[in-house]
Amino acid sequence: MSETKVEERDGEELVARLNMLVEELESYPDTELREKALGLVQLILELYGESLRRIIAAMESEPRREQILARMFSDEVIRSMLLIHGLLPVSLYDRVAARLVDLRPFLVSQGCDVELLGVDDGRARMRLIRSGKGAPPIAVLKADIEKALSEVTPDLAGIEIV
């Protein structure tokens, strides 16, 4: 049996195209047709969400479940779909905390460190600890942290440095 290679598609491009088409539909002058088309999009999303829920539930007795889920969560497109459907089992706080741990060696090399104080209303509060005169400005460090966090927390509303 030959293994078929699946062509990977750019997740951001797919989401951008979907958003563009939905915006175009929302501005369509025919109200009845517009509502039917948007209802179809919503129904398809619900079908995919239910399918994902069932796939995850079917893996309950799978001995390699955690490794499979970890691989799924590391894929940006799959992670985004799970997030959209409320199926990402790792809390926003835990994802922010884990990413900051990964980011710590970079921050230390820049002459600073960060302490996560909490995540409230989708916003992460953190304290930036600068340990040397060579540390970049806070605005630069904040931008670096935001960029790193955006990779694993697309649902993060922002960060606040206190």
**Distance in angstroms (rounded) separating the CA atoms of residues 35 and 133:** 59
pLDDT at residue 119, rounded to an integer: 94
Residue 6, pLDDT above cutoff 60: no
pLDDT at 24: 92
pLDDT at 154: 77
pLDDT at 90: 76
Percent of the chain with pLDDT over 90: 33
In 14-152, the DSSP E strands lie at 112-120, 123-130
The pLDDT mean for the chain works out to 85
Query: Residue 7 pLDDT > 70, yes or no?
Result: no
pLDDT over 80 at 151, yes or no: no
pLDDT tens track for 17-50: 888 998 999 999 999 999 999 999 999 989 999 9
Domain boundaries, the chain: 11-84, 92-161
pLDDT digits (tens, 9 = 90+) for 36-95: 999 999 999 899 999 999 998 898 888 888 888 878 877 878 877 887 888 877 788 988
Outline where 59-137 has alpha helix (H).
65-74, 76-84, 92-109
How far apart CA 98 and CA 109 sit, in angstroms, is 18
The CATH class for the domain spanning 92-161 reads alpha beta
Residues 6+ apart with CB under 8 A from 98: 90, 152
**Which structure tokens are listed for 39?**
């209802």
Are the C-beta atoms of 63 and 69 separated by less than 8 Å?
no
Looking at residue 120, its pLDDT comes to: 93
User: In terms of pLDDT, which residue wins out, 7 or 131?
Assistant: 131
Query: Residue 4: pLDDT band by 50, 70, 90 thresholds?
Result: low
Residue 2 pLDDT greater than 60, yes or no? no
The overall pTM is greater than 0.95: no
